[in-house]
């Protein structure tokens, strides 16, 4: 809980400066996709936000994270004096073995009465001595953003209208997104960032993820929904490989101030927002992947054991 509180305090301090992750110039999109090259896991929700902050705070350039045990199983060890990041895993179900009426044992999944939490510590690949260098996949260029967003919008579950007016919003009553004309935006990436934010709101419809969208401007409910839309837009922008340039069509400085109030009142709200943001991103990205027949999962190359890699490098060196 103390680590949660510390993270929230750091993030709210950034918000008071008028910044959120989406407009922090020092970010590299690729580092916003933390994943485990050894277990093939992708870090989600609050853990993703934790590791994103660690990248910003410590200047890591590698998006790969794993536990010491996983590194050691491959023969890799941390550099002297390195410290890991504490993450948490919530467990909501357990497997039980039952006997059916025919006397056969069957395995079933049972929901826990009270969720359990397990903690684990991960280290960035940049903290590991001799770990294979990361090869970043090709990212979307500014010229590709328009086509990318056209495809993403085509998979929307609600109508999206682009009109000659000055507001970007989602209407729950009409279940539609209204955007200004594209030429009103500063650039294509600014358009994309706004689209992702409004599409995130659309998943709150009762026929989809059914969130509370009734809060008026300035209310705690409104701030909570805006926080969810912004975090999910951040996650999706990283997953789509969008460039870091670009601004929201509308000024979000007021939103940032309202978010700090909500988070200071209950620092666990940030982690609830991250969990909901993952559900939002999963739904919208799933629609896109099905429509395009592609996958947005990070590229994970096989990591060779340290000894084999060392022998290979020695052999190659001798041949020169």
Q: Is the pLDDT of residue 319 over 50?
A: no
Which residue do the tokens 């990283």 mark?
Answer: 238
pLDDT at 105: 84
- Across the range 265-291, mean pLDDT stands at 94
In 3D space, the residue among 76, 89, 154 whose CA is nearest the CA of residue 115 turns out to be 89
User: What span, in angstroms and rounded, lies between the C-alpha atoms of 67 and 197?
Assistant: 33
Q: Is the pLDDT of residue 183 over 60?
A: yes
Query: In 10 A of CB 260, how many CB atoms?
Result: 18
Give the CA distances from residue 295 to residues 40, 41, 283, in Å, rounded to whole numbers and listed in that order: 15, 15, 13
b/e for 7-43, b at 16 or more Cβ within 10 A?
A: bbeebbebbeeeebbbbeeebebbbbbbbbbbeeeeb
* Three-state SS at 28: coil
pLDDT at 24: 52
pLDDT tens-digit series, residues 113-167: 877 888 999 999 999 999 999 887 766 666 688 899 999 999 999 999 999 999 9
- Listed by start position, the domains of the chain span 2-292
- Token pair recorded at residue 299: 């590229």
Q: Is the pLDDT of residue 224 over 60?
A: yes
Which residue do the tokens 């979307």 mark?
Answer: 140
Q: Are the CB atoms for 121 and 68 separated by under 8 Å? A: yes
Q: Is the pLDDT of residue 53 over 50?
A: yes
Q: Is the pLDDT of residue 227 over 60?
A: yes
User: What pTM, to 2 d.p., does this model score?
Assistant: 0.83
pLDDT at 205: 98
């Amino acid at each position: 809980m103390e680590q949660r509180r510390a993270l929230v305090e750091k993030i709210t301090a950034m918000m008071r400066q008028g910044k959120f992750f989406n407009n922090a110039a020092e970010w590299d999109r690729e580092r916003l996709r933390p994943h485990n090259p050894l277990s093939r896991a992708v870090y989600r929700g609050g853990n993703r936000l934790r590791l994103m902050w660690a990248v910003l705070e410590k200047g890591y350039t590698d998006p790969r994270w794993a536990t010491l045990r996983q590194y050691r199983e491959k023969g890799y060890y941390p550099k002297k004096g390195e410290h890991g990041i504490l993450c948490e895993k919530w467990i909501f179900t357990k497997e039980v073995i039952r006997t059916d009426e025919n006397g056969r044992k069957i395995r079933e999944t049972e929901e826990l009465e009270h969720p359990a939490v397990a903690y684990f510590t991960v280290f960035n690949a940049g903290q590991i001595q001799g770990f294979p260098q990361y090869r970043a996949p090709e990212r979307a260029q500014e010229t590709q953003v328009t086509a990318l967003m056209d495809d993403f919008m085509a998979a929307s579950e609600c109508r999206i209208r682009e009109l000659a007016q000055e507001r970007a919003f989602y209407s729950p009553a009409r279940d539609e997104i209204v955007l200004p004309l594209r030429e009103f935006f500063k650039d294509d990436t600014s358009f994309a960032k706004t689209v992702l934010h409004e599409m995130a709101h659309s998943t709150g419809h009762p026929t989809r993820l059914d969130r509370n969208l009734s809060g008026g401007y300035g209310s705690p409910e409104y701030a909570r929904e805006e926080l969810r839309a912004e975090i999910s837009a951040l996650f999706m922008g990283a997953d789509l490989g969008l460039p870091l340039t670009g601004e929201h069509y509308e000024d979000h400085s007021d939103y940032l101030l309202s978010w700090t109030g909500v988070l200071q009142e209950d620092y666990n709200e940030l982690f609830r927002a991250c969990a909901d943001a993952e559900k939002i991103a999963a739904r919208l990205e799933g629609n896109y992947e099905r429509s395009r027949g592609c996958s947005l999962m990070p590229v994970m190359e096989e990591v060779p054991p340290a000894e084999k890699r060392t022998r290979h490098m020695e052999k190659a060196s001798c041949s020169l």
